[in-house]
A and B are shown apart, each in its own frame.
Chain A
Amino acid sequence: MQFQTAHQHTWRKFKSALASTVAFVSAILVIAPLGLVFFHLLANGAGSVNWDFFTKLPGPVGAVGGGMANAIVGSLELLALAGAIGIPVGVLGGVYLAEYGSSRINLVLRFLADVLNGVPSITWGVVVYGLVVLRFKGFSAYAGGLALSLIMIPLILRTTEEVILLVPNGYREAALALGVSRWKTIVHIVMKTASKGIITGILLALARVGGETAPLLFTAFGNHFWNHNLSQPIAALPLQIFTYAISPYDDWHRQAWAGALVLVMGVFCINIIVRVLTRGRAASVV
């Protein structure tokens, strides 16, 4: 009997160790793609990221060389447009939820924002196509920026609300007790206190939409040349990567890897900035 219990105990210990090992292997499998993608990006793309890549236009079909200067600038222009619409709407909407809304209204708005966050990004492309491209008879940077901004709004709204709710009530009470009006309290005290968190949310949203391709396919459309007229089709880095990746030309594949490396570096840089901003506090990824 004594032996049996000891034996059972060893067996249970063994099972526990086995389960830990299986879980460890799962964790390794989950992050393996990250390592593999990164390795292949460096191996295939690093050689092609050079001065030409950042300064030249895409070469004509078949010609070796050329760069993605217009796509990089186009992406930044699209992000600026998206931010111009998405940031004020998202931040102020989040302020309403955190500071003004009654609990019932908030429940509904929060729920709808979560539903919007679950809408596939390509759907936004379709909607903006119907709203803007069909109506104004043409693909444009405006349409692309709008599509990206619609994705940003619910993301920024939710993160802003969360960080504003973290500001202690004593701050508000102190300001109001000094006779500061409510909106000034919110703007100068509450939002200022929460500014780090708000900026974090904005940066994460920008990093997310900066890599989006699907909503740009039939809004910004892409462009092989320089274009600074926002009512015309515009190039974007993710779009260019997609076009090159599915093309049959080896030199374009090389460029696609280089573009992907640059895009990933941009996205990771933003994520590292976010990590520095939120040191000590885990950023939520949902």
Chain B
Amino acid sequence: MPLEQRSAQTRMARPSRFGDRAFELLTLAMALIVVLLIVLIGWQLWHGSVLAIRKFGFHFLATSTWDPVAEQFGALPFIYGTLISSLIALVIAVPLGIATAAYLTELAPLWIRQPLVSLIEMLAAIPSVILGLWGIFVMIPWLRDYPFPWLKRFFGWTPFFSGPTYGPSMLAGGIIIAIMILPIITSVSREILRSVPDLQREAAYALGATRWEATRIAVLSYAKKGLFGAVILGLGRALGETMAVTMVIGNTPQIALSLFAPGYTLASVLANEFTEATTELYLQALFEIGLVLLGITILVNLLAQLLLRTLTTKSATRAVQ
């Protein structure tokens, strides 16, 4: 009798743990695929470009001849194009995005906020290729007819707005990237501003601040670091933006000061030339372009994560205190 009882107890205490172990290992394996993907992407791009890296070395990044026929490959015009178009995008998108975020969290009437947020989410959902289509057939003709001549008339004396205005240009590429990154800058900034403790606002209002003064002194300056993080996150997206830019930037590998001149970005050259790579070295050079693009975007994204993370933990601890 006691023996039977004991065996019953053991049965109760030790049900089969096989299912639990198997399920845990299964989910662990799936989670580890994330690590595998990071390794895979780095290894594949490195492996694919190792010949080009050995052959050109540092010159790949510092020379500007891109001549597949002569097998001369220098990525400088693409790096330049990527950086400048992203910079133009930031100049346009950062003030607009942060002002909109401030409007959405601090200044707007309550009833308008949710519909606006939904519209911004819808803008984020528009595929890149469709924005590019709109860019080719609507935005570029409009830019060529109205803003470009105007810019040329007033700022034509600077090297940035001189030369012929065909339409497809670095400036057009920057504007289309700005449209693409506005939703992410706005929505991340909005989250940041929302995480600013209400005590900040209450203190400012208690001192007699107007709505704008409270926003500027108590909210925006408090959230400075997080907003910077949002901007860097936007920059990360801007650098890797492909289809829309490819369709409007003009795709000419040159380094021109004028923003009216066509340019080329790292992502666009991949999109345009990858299937045309006829020789081994050409393909290797394109893989190396991919490696450079990955390197730049990962660095920028790491910085963004760092900025956004420290802010949220800090504001969280402050809120708790």
Contacts and interface: CB of A to CB of B under 8 A. Distances in A.
A281 to B, nearest CB: 12
A100 B27 contact: yes
Contacts of B131: 33, 37
Contact of A27 (B103, B233, B237, B241): B103
B125 A267 contact: yes
Nearest to B133: A245
A120 B267 contact: yes
A17 to B, nearest CB: 8
Interface in B214-251: 215-216, 233, 236-237, 239-243, 247
B34 A241 contact: no
B290 interface: yes
A54 interface: no
B38 A112 contact: yes
Contact of A120 (B27, B30, B125, B240): B240
B210 A12 contact: yes
Interface of B is mostly: helix
Nearest to B302: A115
A119 B129 contact: no
Contacts of B132: 242, 245
B127 A213 contact: yes
A111 B129 CA distance: 29
Question: Which bucket holds chain B's interface residue count?
Answer: 35 or more
A15 B210 contact: yes
A131 interface: yes
A205 B124 CA distance: 13
A93 B41 contact: no
A270 B85 CA distance: 31
B130 A37 contact: yes
Given A130-B44, A241-B133, A93 B33 contact: yes
Contacts of A122: 240, 242, 267, 270-271, 290, 293
Interface string B16-46: 0101101110111011011101101100110
Contacts of A186: 23
B138 A36 contact: yes
Nearest to B243: A213
A256 to B, nearest CB: 6
Nearest to A105: B31
B257 interface: no
A178 to B, nearest CB: 13
Given A211-B130, A212-B127, A245-B133, 7 more contacts: A40-B134, A118-B236, A118-B298, A121-B240, A126-B44, A127-B45, A241-B129
19 contacts: A12-B210, A16-B211, A16-B213, A19-B215, A27-B108, A34-B123, A93-B31, A109-B34, A157-B34, A181-B19, A183-B24, A208-B125, A211-B127, A213-B128, A245-B136, A246-B136, A285-B183, A285-B184, A286-B188
Interface of A: 12-13, 15-16, 18-20, 22-24, 26-27, 29-31, 33-34, 36-37, 40-41, 44, 88-90, 92-97, 99-101, 109, 111-116, 118-127, 129-131, 150, 153-154, 157, 179, 181-184, 186-187, 207-208, 210-214, 217-218, 221, 238, 241-242, 245-246, 253, 256-257, 260, 263-264, 267-268, 271, 275, 282-283, 285-286
